[in-house]
């Protein structure tokens, strides 16, 4: 409080300090979701923007995925090729390349490279694209969205049946099941972009 007492005509009450602290905490919470804005080109790329990368994932980038698709349709094949390219790329909030990326950037990159479709950068904007389909009607290429916190969202791409590609803080780019109890509980909606 000494810092504030040196400011002219600044008399903060404990109530004021509580409001300021609450504002800071809520601001940090709102900024901690999976979706993010594309980084400005003026950023200094010599310094890392985030230290949440998992070094062990980066070192095993060349590993071969254990998952093999059971379907041979063109969408699954295209998604599997993209999955192999991104496999184990570490999660990095705001990241957008093979050194690290978040879920919305992964979706944006895969859709551009596999289908030549431009999608927005954030989950907030991606969930507005295409049209909603029921969970029981999911098919390859559909986007799945999850509510992982009060205002936090997460997303992935269905590769086949109940399996989806996404990026996680623990395993990097990987494949999970919609039937996993965690994802089943957090499931929000599915959007279809592809015809």
166 in active site: yes
Give the integer Cα–Cα distance in Å for 138 and 163: 10
* Residue 166 and residue 67 in contact, taking contact as beta carbons nearer than 8 Å: no
Q: What tokens appear for 54 in the block?
A: 């998992």
Q: Are strands 131-133 and 100-101 parallel, antiparallel or unpaired?
A: unpaired
Q: Catalytic one among 75, 103, 119, 158?
A: 103
Alpha carbon 174 to its chain's center:
12
Q: Is 186 a catalytic residue?
A: no
* Candidates 88, 121, 153, 154; catalytic one: 154
Is 34 among the catalytic positions?
no
Catalytic residue among 53, 88, 163, 166: 166
Helix axes 74-86, 103-115, angle to 10 degrees: 130
Would you please indicate which residues are annotated as catalytic (active-site) residues?
A: 103, 154, 166
């Amino acid at each position: 409080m000494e810092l504030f007492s040196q400011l002219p005509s600044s008399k903060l009450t404990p109530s004021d300090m509580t409001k300021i602290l609450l504002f800071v905490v809520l601001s940090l919470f709102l900024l901690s979701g999976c979706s993010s804005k594309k980084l400005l080109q003026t950023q200094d790329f010599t310094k890392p923007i985030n230290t949440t990368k998992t070094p062990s994932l980066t070192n095993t980038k060349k590993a071969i995925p254990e998952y093999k698709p059971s379907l041979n349709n063109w969408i699954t094949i295209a998604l599997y090729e993209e999955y192999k390219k991104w496999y184990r790329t570490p999660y990095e909030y705001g990241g957008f390349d093979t050194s690290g990326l978040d879920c919305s950037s992964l979706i944006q990159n895969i859709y551009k490279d596999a289908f030549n479709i431009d999608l927005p950068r954030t989950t907030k904007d991606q969930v507005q694209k295409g049209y909603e389909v029921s969970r029981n009607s999911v098919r390859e290429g559909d986007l799945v969205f999850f509510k992982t916190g009060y205002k936090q969202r997460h997303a992935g791409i269905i590769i086949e049946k109940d399996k989806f590609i996404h990026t996680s803080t623990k395993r990097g780019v990987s494949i999970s099941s919609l039937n996993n109890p965690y994802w089943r509980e957090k499931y929000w909606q599915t959007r279809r972009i592809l015809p």
